[in-house]
Each structure stands twice: as C-alpha cells, then as structure tokens.
Amino acid sequence: MIALDIIVSFILSFILLIVCVFKGIFVAYPLMISFILFIIVAVRHGNEFKYIVKLAYEGSKKSLIILKIFILIGGITAIWMASGTVAAIVFYGIEFLKPELFVVSAFLICSFVSFLIGTSFGTVGTVGIALMVIARGGGVNTSVAAGAIIAGSYFGDRCSPMSSSANLVGVITDTNIYDNIKNMFKTSYIPFIFSLIIYIAISLKFPLNNLGDYLNTEILKVFTVNLGVLIPALIMLVFSIFKIDVKISMLVSILTAVVISITIQNYSLGQCINYMMFGYNMDISSPLYSIIKGGGILSMIKTALVIFISSAFSGIFEGTGMLNRVQELLDKACSRYEVFRNVVITSIATSAFGCSQSLSIIMTHMLNKKSYIENCISKEQAAVDLENTAIIISPLIPWNVALLVPMINLRTDFTCIPFLVYLYSIPIYNLIYNKVKNKKN
C-alpha cells in the first residue's frame, strides 16, 4: 500500500493545482508548493534532506538539455510574426477556405500551421483565433469549430521538429526526434484519415454561411504578403525532410526571417531583436492586435520552469521509491498491448493530477520505463507511446492547462471536447491495434 501521507500529499497537490488553473494562476506556483510538500514527506520517510535535494537536482538536469531549443522556439515564433510568415499562413489559409467544408478546413489549416511552428498555443493564438472569428460570423457551431481548431493545433505539438513537447520526449527517452516523427506518422495516419471523414461530415452539417474577407484586408494593411515571406517556414520543412539538426534548422529560419522582416516588412534590426526577446506585438488599435502577437524568448521561461520543476519531481519520486507500489503494479505487464494499456491509464492519471502536459510526459515515462526494458520494447517505441498518450491526452482533461488555455483564447467551453476527434482517436486506435496484434502473436 502507498503510505497515507503520500496519498494525502497527492490529493492536496491536485486540489491546489485545480484551484490555481481555474483562477488563472501560473501553474509553476502550485507545483513549487507541492514540491516542498513532497520534500517534507520524503524526509518523514527517513531520507536525508541533502539526498532529496540531490535527487531533485539530478532529475531537473534532464530538462536543461532542451533549454537551447526552448530559446530558439521563443525566438522563431516571434520573428515569424514580424516577418509576416504567420500572417501569410493565415492569409493563404483563409483564401483556400471553402464555406461548405469549413470545419475540416479549420482542422487541416491548424494541423499544417502547428506542424510548422510546433506549438499548439501559438497555433490557437494566431490562426485559431482568426478561424474562430470567421466561425462566429458565419454561424458555425462554436463548440464544433473550437474542437476542430484545438485538435489540429495539437497535430504539430505531437510531431513537429519545433515542438517543445516532442523534443522533451526525445530527451527523456534518449531518442532521435526525426525517427520519432517518422514513427508518429506511422501510428497516426489512420486516426488522421478517420478524423478527416468525421470533420467532413460535421462540416456538411455546420456549413459556413458567410465568409468575410475583412481579416485578410486587415492583414494586407499591416504586412506585405507574398510567397517570399513563407521562406522561413519552407526552410523548416525542407530541413526536416533531410533530418538536419533541429537547432540548426531553427537558427537558419530565424536568420532568414530577420532578413525578411528588415527588407520586406521594414522593421529595424533593433525591433527584430526586441521582438525575439520579448515577443511580437503591434499597435493596440489594429484589429489584428489580439490575433498576431506573442512568442519571444522570455515567454518560454515559464514553460521551461514548469518542466524544470516537473523533472525535479520525477527525480524525488524515482530516488525515494515513493511510487514503488504503483510501479510494481505497472511492471506486471507482460505484452506490448499491456504495456501500452498501462501507459494510457498512467497518462490519464498524470494528466488529471498534474494539470500540465510536461508533468504528465515525465511522470508517465518514469512509471513505465521499466516495463519497456523487461518486455524488450525499444526506447523508440517508448517515445512514440508517450506521443500517442501523454501529449494528446492532456488536452482532453478539462482542467489541464493544455486544454484550458486554448479554450480561454477561443472563448469556448468544455462542450468542445466531443469534437476533439483526432486527439482521442489516436490512443483508441493504437490500443485496438496492439490488442489485435497481441492476439495474433
């Protein structure tokens, strides 16, 4: 049995996280309090304070490896906005929208954008908001539209070389991100096709009644839009095909975007540096002010802090053996199907209790990694299982930051969850696939 004080600590931490998430308080604060709480519990169980600090440090060191990538992600998001790359993606996306296929188009556009920029929040905060404005103006059911937008936004969060989540998975499983991406496409193309069919059916039921061009008109007032401003995005696509180091790809894309920002969009070098550090913004009087903004290196510090604390948690849990009983239950898995089933269950629990995607990823891996070793399952399979569970289950939990933030940005509510088809079809499909494969063996 797990000790009572550990159970109480988990319950208190869960309540604290829930309250802070709904109050809009930065999730790192309740995580810090919970971190202190578990240090006290560990001391009560006979561990020396110095030893616990060492465990926390060893755990958190894992997160420092992706700090460079986080810096680049913050910088590239902002400079893509300044260069007009994001605006061009929105512009051409809206140009190709078909009113009778609005919902499926929104899903596809968000999937494409999220793959390019690697962030669900960034996709929702740019093209997602634009699509939601169109949906409201055209009489499309807002829950349906939000579901398609959020689902598409997590396409890239799962499998983009620029995704902080995908890079975190690569680091903690010691795998190559491009190999992981290839495996992710293999395990998700059927759920993706299924999602397209469902979204096409929904589109026919909820067509767009009016497709205004006011957003594109406003974009052209602020940015010079042509195919040339899409070059930074094209660089990321081409470099990923040739499996060039993602840090090099981002750096080249950033430098290209800076040149475009200066030569085409008429920003100064000083403005570009300022945007990359503090995030892009335009005049508050512009209708695009709340749509195309954000990014910046400083914006990634919060995410990095959450991952740093989450990693420290895993170090303490693993070193002190607090969750040994849970691990013993999970270690009883004796087939590929049972291991993946346990990962799904663990992801649901950690997403619900941790309220953040990063904590779910780290904790799910920590609790199940021994099962992969004992069942001779490769670390590449472990990586893709995390991508197929923790990353896309988190935004299915109503109080998890991964869903709450997009819902706030899109001004929608929990009624969008049934329409997050792509997100829940991936774990369901892979459960069925592994179950059938297990029976054949």
Per-residue DSSP letters for 148-183? HHHHHHHHHHHH-TT-HHHHHHHHHHT--HHHHHHH
Nearest CA to 106 out of 85, 118, 90, 119 is that of 90
Query: Residue 376: which residues within 8 A CB-CB, separation 6 or more?
Result: none
Q: Phi first, then psi: what are they for 225, rounded to 5°?
A: -110, 120
Nearest CA to 250 out of 153, 163, 174 is that of 163
Query: Residue 59: which residues within 8 A CB-CB, separation 6 or more?
Result: 311, 312, 313, 314, 315, 316, 318, 319
The model's pLDDT over 96-122, given as tens digits with 9 standing for 90+, comes to 778 889 999 999 999 988 888 788 887
Q: What is the pLDDT of residue 83?
A: 95
Question: What is the mean pLDDT of the segment spanning 151-170?
Answer: 88
Looking at per-residue confidence, does 176 or 121 come out higher? 176
Nearest CA to 161 out of 55, 279, 76 is that of 76
* DSSP assignment letter at 228: G
Q: 146 falls in which pLDDT band (50, 70, 90)?
A: very high
Query: Residue 131: which residues within 8 A CB-CB, separation 6 or more?
Result: 106, 109, 110, 145, 149
Region at 139 (left for phi over 0; alpha for psi -120 to 50; beta for the rest):
left
Looking at per-residue confidence, does 214 or 188 come out higher? 188
Nearest CA to 78 out of 133, 108, 119, 25 is that of 119
Q: What is the pLDDT of residue 295?
A: 81
For residues 251 and 190, what is the distance between their CA atoms, to the nearest angstrom? 34
Question: What is the mean pLDDT of the segment spanning 353-367?
Answer: 85
Asked if residues 279 and 295 have their Cβ atoms less than 8 Å apart, the reply is yes
Q: 216 falls in which pLDDT band (50, 70, 90)?
A: confident
Question: What is the mean pLDDT of the segment spanning 139-146?
Answer: 91
Q: 144 falls in which pLDDT band (50, 70, 90)?
A: very high
Asked if residues 391 and 357 have their Cβ atoms less than 8 Å apart, the reply is yes
Q: 212 falls in which pLDDT band (50, 70, 90)?
A: low
Looking at per-residue confidence, does 325 or 348 come out higher? 348
For residues 193 and 207, what is the distance between their CA atoms, to the nearest angstrom? 20
The full DSSP string for 73-107 is: HHHHHHHHHHTTHHHHHHHHHHHT--GGGHHHHHH
Query: Residue 37: which residues within 8 A CB-CB, separation 6 or more?
Result: 9, 12, 13
For residues 272 and 295, what is the distance between their CA atoms, to the nearest angstrom? 12
Q: 332 falls in which pLDDT band (50, 70, 90)?
A: confident
Asked if residues 144 and 186 have their Cβ atoms less than 8 Å apart, the reply is no
Report in angstroms the alpha-carbon separations of 360 from 20, 25, 171, 318, 345. Answer: 17, 19, 15, 15, 11
Q: What is the mean pLDDT of the chain?
A: 87
Q: Does residue 441 register a pLDDT over 70?
A: no
Q: 356 falls in which pLDDT band (50, 70, 90)?
A: confident
Q: What is the pLDDT of residue 1?
A: 54
Question: What is the mean pLDDT of the segment spanning 399-416?
Answer: 85
Asked if residues 63 and 28 have their Cβ atoms less than 8 Å apart, the reply is no
Q: What is the pLDDT of residue 355?
A: 74
Question: What is the mean pLDDT of the segment spanning 58-65?
Answer: 76
Q: Does residue 198 register a pLDDT over 80?
A: yes
Question: What is the mean pLDDT of the segment spanning 258-265?
Answer: 97
Q: 2 falls in which pLDDT band (50, 70, 90)?
A: low
Looking at per-residue confidence, does 306 or 279 come out higher? 279
Q: Does residue 3 register a pLDDT over 80?
A: no
Question: What is the mean pLDDT of the segment spanning 339-343?
Answer: 94
The amino acid at 73: I
Q: Does residue 65 register a pLDDT over 70?
A: no
Q: What is the pLDDT of residue 278?
A: 93
Report pTM: 0.79
Sign (positive/negative) of CA torsion 104, 106, 107, 108? positive
